[in-house]
Amino acid sequence: MRTSMSSSESLREALNFDEHLILENNWKGRFVGISDYQFFHRQSLENFEQFWAGVAEEIEWFKKFEKVVIPGEHPNVYKWFAGGRLNLSYLCLDRHVKSWRKNKLALIWEGEPVKEDGEPLEIRKFTYFELWRYVNRVAYVMKEKLHLKRGDRVAFYMPMIPELMILMLAAARLGVIFSQVFSGFSAEALASRISDIGARYIFTTDGYYRRGKIVRTKEIADKAVEECPTVEKIILIRRVGSTETPIDEAKHAYLEELLKDVNPNAYVQPEEMESTDILYVLYTSGTTGKPKGIIHDTGGYAVLLNATMKWVFDIRDEDIFWCTADIGWVTGHSYIVFGPLMVGTTVVMYEGAPDFPAPDRWWSIIERYGVTIFYTSPTAVRAFMRLGTEHVTKHDLSTLRLIHSVGEPINPAAWRWLFELIGGGRCPVGSTWWMTETGGILISHAPGLKLVPLKAGTNGPPLPGIEADVVDENGVSVPNGVKGYLIIKRPWPGMPGPPTGMYGDPERYNSVYFSRFGYFFTGDYAIRDNDGYIWVLGRSDEVLKVAGHRIGTYELESTLVSHPYVAEAAVCGVPDDVKGEVPIAYVVLKADVPKTSRVQEELRKWVRERIGAIAEPKSIFVVSRLPKTRSGKIMRRIMRALATGKPIGDITTLEDEAAVEEVKMAYEALLKEIGGKLE
Ligand code: WT7
């Protein structure tokens, strides 16, 4: 399980990051050097509270905080900036409206459809003032017409249109807790999240455009609410102009209609939120159980985002900032909406598929708006790499000055492609490490601090005020160059918030993240090199990362088992050239089901409809029994080895309970069974 590396040199070699890839030389004069950073970082930890208090003072508080960080009511839940009061909608809008930024562009949005000449059909631009006015009117509707008040919950099932950002800011203005559910998720996935949070309303669209087709969100939401008694109404935002099923006045209302008689100058006073109040809940998958509702607070979250926009993105007023994520994931919450708007930048948001109608869509967007900072994912890069360089080189990308990726480890080829082709060899290319639970970036190069030489492929050192470590099974620090588990040793602003970390489930919050090491366990394998840089290698648990998104094996397995044909199911991830990893499934069918190939088709469709296309297994193998240990643990390593056509390898290091003989037998039995069926 452990890989021993003597130094970062051999590590780079092992990961195939060769040559002159420490970019110090390209950036002469910009950096102060690693030892200076280490000193600075040490200082931030030695004066932990003082350090974070200083960072927190960079944002505007209605009432200053009394304490930097104190324990909350439940173990491992902390109250950051307790006693402080603030409002995210105010910080993202009102503050700028009162400044010279009033007429600065806050948002440039591009819809997916194009005209005959291939140019975008719709571009909507909002200045800070315009955005502020729209948010106030929507907040007015929420408050006066829907009677939403502080602490109430709503769900957003919204595609990438400006109204999603506006709804988030309007909810934040009122202290209404929102949960955005990725618009690619199914009715069942939506329903389980709505009922967990007890949402009073769902906000969705009549539909949206994806790869030239219309996705019917209204119909999916209708289906979801059938199981959700807390939902009073579905509020629809018009996007495609029609619905397939009728509007029922008792169940639906159009936001447009609700806004009709609202004074265009409506102003809604932002609530003075406690720093420790919940801003939003975002669901993410784990290895076991249903998706977990991660709570993000108001003050700590705001402070981390404000700081990372400066440290990691080196944000400046003239920047045009484009994060390509979907707001359905945490990346979009933090680095399309709250982070960029807090620091008053101009955000680019794109509705549709990256390669629609042509493979140069993204690069035309960078050119059209003069994007300067580009934040994307290795999966997207790998997909583009297959399409050829000509789609990139026909566009002028010379405005770019900084590039970061996120979601999974970046492979050398993808890094080089970003660095050379997209960044023209001028731009630092980083790989920011964080997770839904961390709220914002914790480990990264920090061009904005001018302190961190860029080392290709690594995530960089922990940011100031962040204490991360790599430990062995017993929680003991491993030497530099040795693979271990990544943990975060101290609380940080932006961590899962009060009251319970995980919505409604403080016990699970503790058992998932803290029971193993006593510190926050990320679930990742990592190596710390001699410079203190962290190289995250991937998940150490059975969480799949499909195109950078987390898919729980449990979620998939229980969905498969819920099909009338399936007796047992086991899912694991196998490498994929583009998506990094994709799920495959082994299923045992019930006795009376004929073993036809249509079973596979049917099950794929079943998963698509119940979780979403993102979770659809690449292959489904029908077997007579699953490879399990005597204690019932599924031997996923065998499943992976078989599906990838690889030998099972060194089984002496195999998961604890599995005896060598047992593993061999299970492998051979399975091999025999699916031998001819490998794709
Ligand atoms: C997991 C968190 C945070 C936004 C997107 C994903 C992996 C994330 C990196 C990176 C290597 C990374 C980790 C982490 N991950 N960024 N730069 N290098 N791995 O959020 O769905 O909560 O997933 O993504 O495995 O634990 P998420």
Q: What is the 3-state secondary structure (H, E, C) of 37-53?
A: HHHHHHHHHHCHHHHHH
Protein residue with its CA nearest to atom 24 in ligand 1: 407
What's the CA-to-centroid distance between 458 and ligand 1, angstroms?
Answer: 13
Separation of alpha carbons 640 and 650, rounded Å: 14
What's the CA-to-centroid distance between 408 and ligand 1, angstroms?
Answer: 5
pLDDT confidence of residue 323: 98
Domain 543-672 has CATH 3.40.50.720: no
pLDDT confidence of residue 329: 96
Please tell me whether the overall predicted TM-score, pTM, comes out greater than 0.85 for this model. yes
Please identify, by atom number, the ligand 1 atom nearest to the C-alpha of residue 405.
17
Give the residue, out of 281, 408, 431, 485, with the most ligand 1 atoms within 8 A of its beta carbon, to mutate for a pocket test. Answer: 408
360-377 pLDDT, tens digit per residue, is 999 999 999 999 999 999
pLDDT reading at 672 higher than 80: no
Please tell me if the CB atom of residue 539 comes closer than 6 angstroms to any atom of ligand 1.
yes
Please identify, by atom number, the ligand 1 atom nearest to the C-alpha of residue 539.
25
pLDDT reading at 310 higher than 50: yes
The residues with which 534 forms a beta bridge, in sequence order, are 460, 528
Q: How many C-beta neighbours within 10 Å does residue 9 have?
A: 12
pLDDT reading at 484 higher than 60: yes
Q: Which of 5-14, 269-278, 335-344 shows the lowest mean pLDDT across its residues?
A: 5-14
306's tokens: 């404000």
Torsion of CA 254, 258, 263, 264, to 10 degrees: -10
What's the CA-to-centroid distance between 486 and ligand 1, angstroms?
Answer: 12
313-362 pLDDT, tens digit per residue, is 999 999 999 999 999 999 999 999 999 999 999 999 999 999 999 999 99
Domain boundaries, the chain: 543-672
Confidence of residue 674 (pLDDT cuts 50, 70, 90): low
Separation of alpha carbons 515 and 621, rounded Å: 35
What's the CA-to-centroid distance between 407 and ligand 1, angstroms?
Answer: 4
Q: Which of 167-176, 615-624, 670-679 shows the lowest mean pLDDT across its residues?
A: 670-679
558-598 pLDDT, tens digit per residue, is 899 889 899 888 898 888 889 999 999 888 888 888 766 68
pLDDT reading at 631 higher than 50: yes
| Contacting residues for 581 by C-beta, under 8 A, at least 6 apart | 408, 544, 545, 546, 573, 574, 575
Give the DSSP H or E segment for 620: strand 619-623
User: Rg (Cα) of the chain, in Å, rounded?
Assistant: 25
632-670 pLDDT, tens digit per residue, is 778 787 788 777 777 766 554 444 445 556 666 667 777
Protein residue with its CA nearest to atom 27 in ligand 1: 435
Protein residue with its CA nearest to atom 5 in ligand 1: 407
Give the C-alpha distances (Å, rounded to integers) separating 198 from 79, 155, 157, 229, 551: 24, 9, 14, 9, 23
40-52 pLDDT, tens digit per residue, is 899 999 999 999 9
